[in-house]
Amino acid sequence: MLVVLMGPPGAGKGTQAEKITKEFALLHISTGDILRAAVKEKTPLGIKAKEYMDRGALVPDELIINIMKDRLAKPDCAGGALLDGFPRTVEQAEALENVLTDLNMELDAVINVDVSADELIDRLTGRRVCRSCGTTYHLKFNPPRVRSICDHCSGGLYQRSDDTVDTVKERLEVYGKQTLPLIEYYQRKNLYFAVDGSRPIDEVFEDISAYLQERKEE
C-alpha cells in the first residue's frame, strides 16, 4: 500500500505516521526528516535546504523531486510506504505520478489531517523531539514521563529551530498558498480522505486506521 499523509505544519503527520506505519507495516518516508538529516550532516543538499527551512519556506521542487525519485526506486519501498509531507505542491504531485508510473506503482490513498491555525501554533511551539530516536512529544498535549527525557530511549529532547512563533506563522502561510491546492487535485482523483485532526491522538488514528483497512481490502 502506498499512502500520502498531508496536512498543515503541526497537524500531527509525524505523530500519526508512527502509528500507521506500525499498524500497516509501511515504511515511513518523511521529506522533512530526510532534509533535517542532511542539514545535520552538512551535505550539499543540507546546506542548500537549510536556508529555506529556517525561514519557513518550501525547499525548491526540483531538489525534493530528485530526492523522492531516488528514494522510491529503492527496493525497500516495494512492501509499501507512507509519504509524510510529500507532495506539497501540485508540481510535486505531478512528478510523483510520473515516478510511480515508471516504477509500476500506484497511490492507494491520500489522507489529510485537518487542524485550525490557532491550534497549530500551540502544537508547534510546545513540540519537543528526541535527539536520539526522533520520537515527538508535546509539553502539554503529549508530555514525556520525565521532563526533557525520551520515554523510549532516555535521549534528550530538543526544540526544532523552525518551531518559533514567527517561522510557524510563515510555514502556515506557505501551506495555504502552495499546499492547499493539492486537496482539490486529489479529490478529483478520488483518493482524498480528510480526518478531523483537532481531536485526541488516538481518536484521529482510529479514523485513519479504519479508512486504510477499507482501502486495503478493496
Should residue 31 be labelled a site residue for ligand AP5 when binding is judged by CB under 6 A?
Answer: yes
Near ligand AP5 in 140-179, by CB under 6 A: 141-142, 171
Residue 98's Cβ-count burial label (10 Å; 0-12, 13-18, 19+) is exposed
Contacts of 120 (CB under 8 A, 6+ apart): 8, 9, 10, 11, 168, 172
Shortest approach of ligand AP5 to residue 131 CB, angstroms? 15
40 flagged as catalytic = no
Q: Are 149 and 133 in contact (CB under 8 A)?
A: no
Partner whose binding site includes residue 136, from Mg ion, ligand AP5, Zn ion, none (CB under 5 to 8 Å by kind): ligand AP5
Can you tell me which of 10, 14, 56, 197 binds Mg ion, judged by CB under 5 A?
A: 14
Catalytic site residue 88? yes
Tell me which of Mg ion, Zn ion, ligand AP5, none is bound by residue 86, counting a contact when its beta carbon lies within the kind-specific cut-off of 5 to 8 angstroms: ligand AP5
Residue 12 is a binding residue for Mg ion (CB under 5 A):
no
* Residue 14 or 56 with smaller CB distance to Mg ion: 14
Judged by beta carbon distances under 5 to 8 A according to partner kind, the member of Mg ion, ligand AP5, Zn ion, none in contact with residue 153 is Zn ion
Say how many residues touch Mg ion, by CB under 5 A.
Answer: 2
d(CA 87, CA 64): 9
Q: Is residue 71 close enough to count as binding ligand AP5 by CB under 6 A?
A: no
Three cell numbers written together for 167: 517561522
**What would you measure as the largest C-alpha separation in the chain, in angstroms?**
48
Where does this chain touch ligand AP5 (CB under 6 A) — which range of 74-82, 147-155, 180-188, 200-208? 200-208
Given a contact cutoff of 8 angstroms between Cβ atoms, the answer to whether 31 and 67 are in contact is yes
- Applying CB under 5 A, which residues contact Mg ion? 13-14
Residues with catalytic annotation?
A: 13, 88, 127, 160, 171
